Amino acid sequence: MVEVDPALIDWIGRWIETADLAAPPPILGIAGSQGSGKSTLARAVAQRFGGAALSLDDVYLTQAARAALAERVHPLFAVRGPPGTHDLALLNRLLDRLRAAGSDEEIRLPRFDKLADERAPETDWAVVWGRPRLIVLEGWCLGATAQRPEALTAPVNALEREKDSDGVWRRAVDAAMGDGYASLAARLDALVFLKAPGFEVVLDWRCEQEAELLGVAAVSPQRRAALAGFIGHYERITRHMLAGGVRPDLTAELDARRRIVALRPGVEIA
């Protein structure tokens, strides 16, 4: 679990204070690799400052919609996670409703059941009452930039070599990054990036995340191997972001134990 550093909370608090209270609530984005602590930070910020927390993970397309996308574009789109597998229309409608909410309005926020790999029924969705002071949106690829065409040529791992040898999937993912996801990023009023020390720690973090989800001390070796294959879907963009393919307002550099070792503002908050 990421350390919720007081200096990080202080920066966010000072940023919130610059917002016009008469205007619609600002949107704070939190990006970072799997297991970096985005959800923990989003909940802490929402609770501390009277906000509503949303996750990109909770607006995955349904299994049926991903299956249709897989048949139409590329089989790898059946797997949730990469750009193209989220219902951005639903997310944008939610952001619009939260920003325009009345004092007594009820807004339901979708939830995704990762164990079932399916969107949870609406009866299990969270409820937000009234207009929040701010909206916190967390997602692993928020703010990532599209790559240059030549960067897409060579596969980055076995998944791309074996299942995307012609590059159709990674070009489609990159096109989505430059389209709907770029438009989503443009809606953010500020972006915080939880920066892993390297991609090599992501498997450990993802296994810890899975163990917590299952309520066990550690995942089995077989499950770890399966998760190693799963995070291959995220590797290209994660490495791109770690190499500078994201432009945050604040970067929180993490060590392998997810402790913040440095805060590097992209902009200064007075």
Q: What CATH number does residue 102 fall under?
A: 3.40.50.300
270 within some domain: no
pLDDT at 138: 98
Tell me how far CA of residue 255 lies from CA of 8, 10, 36, 123, 210, in angstroms.
Answer: 15, 20, 10, 39, 20
Residue 116 exposed, middle or buried by CB count within 10 Å (0-12, 13-18, 19+): exposed
pLDDT at 108: 95
**C-beta atoms surrounding 223 within 10 Å:** 16
pLDDT at 19: 85
Count the domains in the chain: 1
Domain extent, residue 160, equals 6-257
**C-beta atoms surrounding 256 within 10 Å:** 12
Q: Where are the beta strands (DSSP E) in 94-233?
A: 106-109, 112-113, 118-119, 126-129, 135-138, 190-195
* Stated pTM of the model: 0.94
Strands 135-138 and 190-195: unpaired
pLDDT at 2: 52
pLDDT at 109: 96
267 within some domain: no
164 within some domain: yes
Structure tokens, 268: 């200064």
pLDDT at 97: 96
Average pLDDT by stretches of 10, the chain with 270 residues: 78 91 92 94 94 96 97 97 97 97 92 93 93 96 96 97 97 97 97 96 93 88 93 97 96 94 76
pLDDT at 265: 92
